[in-house]
Structure 1
Amino acid sequence: MAKKQSGTAATTSVPTGEDRGGAAYWLIKSEPFKYSWDQFVQDGSTFWDGVRNYAARNNLRAMKVGDKAFFYHSNEGLEIVGVAEVIREAYQDPTSEEETWSAVDFKPVRKLQNPVSLKVIKADPRLEQMALLRLGRLSVQPVTPEEWELVLQYERGT
Structure 2
Amino acid sequence: MQPDPQSPLGKLMATLPRGGRVEWIGLRPARDVAMVEVDRAEAATGAGLAGDRYQGGSGKRGVTLIQAEHLPVIAALAGHAQVAPATLRRNLVVSGIPLVALKGRRFRVGDMVLEGTESCDPCSRMEDALGPGGFNAMRGHGGLCARIVEGGTVRVGDAVEAL
* Greater Cα radius of gyration, structure 1 or 2: 2
Higher helix residue share: 1
Q: Give TM-score, length-normalised by structure 2.
A: 0.39
Higher relative contact order (CA 8 A, sep 6+): 2
